[in-house]
Amino acid sequence: MHGTQAAVDDGTCTLQFAPKAGGVAVSATAGAESACREYCGGNGSFAGDYLKQAATCTPEAMQRTRKAFQASYDRKDYAGAEAALAPLYRDCVAALSFSDAGAIRNDYALTQHKLGDDAGCRQTLAPYQDDAKRSDDAISEGMTPALVDDYLRVIRAARTNLKLCGEGKG
């Protein structure tokens, strides 16, 4: 690491680091994009925003929160379930994998629906609305096979939940 740049392994991939609120933005330096991609495969990259993990987002804290959410939800204590899951939705979703974020969004949206907040439900699922309208085949076309199952699992749940919370209503 030299200043705001670091060379990876053999020196052909050089990364640029820039501080940003809550973490750091990482990108390949000009001309190094192709060399950096070699480390991640054709569809991968180091580039992106790397966010500091909030205390509520550690694997242990998330597991405790998910258990508390599920216990409240199973008792039909939807207000308690929403209160339990809200910190994960608010603080963690942006830094989680697609499948983990999708599970939280879908659970949170369904809980909002149970509480009569269909507008909130639709807003929570807004990132999935376009794909929810497409067929599974159309979604998976051109997608890396390793990602298809996890992606479709999230989208299928979102389709169901969007119908429950009145997709298309204002």
pTM: predicted TM-score of the whole model, two decimal places: 0.77
Examine residue 108 and state whether it is found in any structural domain, yes or no: yes
On whether both 89 and 123 belong to a single domain, the answer is yes
- Res. 9: pLDDT tops 80: no
On whether both 69 and 152 belong to a single domain, the answer is yes
Examine residue 12 and state whether it is found in any structural domain, yes or no: yes
Give 64-120 as a DSSP string: HHHHHHHHHHHTT-HHHHHHHHHHHHHHTGGGS-HHHHHHHHHHHHHHHHHTT-HHH
Residue 6: helix, strand or coil by DSSP? strand
- In this predicted model, what pLDDT tens digit does every residue of 111-148 receive, in sequence order? 999 999 999 999 999 999 999 999 999 999 988 888 89
> Residue 16: which pLDDT band, with cuts at 50, 70 and 90?
confident
- In this predicted model, what pLDDT tens digit does every residue of 19-57 receive, in sequence order? 988 889 988 888 777 777 777 766 667 788 887 888 999
Examine residue 133 and state whether it is found in any structural domain, yes or no: yes
Most confident of 44-53, 68-77, 95-104: 68-77
On whether both 71 and 153 belong to a single domain, the answer is yes
What's the domain count of the chain?
A: 2
Describe the crossing of helices 98-114 and 78-91 by its angle, rounded to 10 degrees: 150
CA torsion, points 148, 149, 154, 155, in degrees to nearest 10? 60
Which run of H or of E encompasses 18?
A: strand 13-20
* pLDDT above 90 as % of the chain: 60
On whether both 86 and 157 belong to a single domain, the answer is yes
What's the average model confidence in pLDDT over 143-158? 92
Examine residue 169 and state whether it is found in any structural domain, yes or no: no
* pLDDT mean across residues, the chain: 89
On whether both 119 and 140 belong to a single domain, the answer is yes
Task: Supply the range of the domain harboring residue 41.
Answer: 5-51
On whether both 140 and 84 belong to a single domain, the answer is yes
What is the structure's pLDDT at 48? Answer: 82
What's the average model confidence in pLDDT over 102-119? 98
What is the structure's pLDDT at 13? Answer: 81
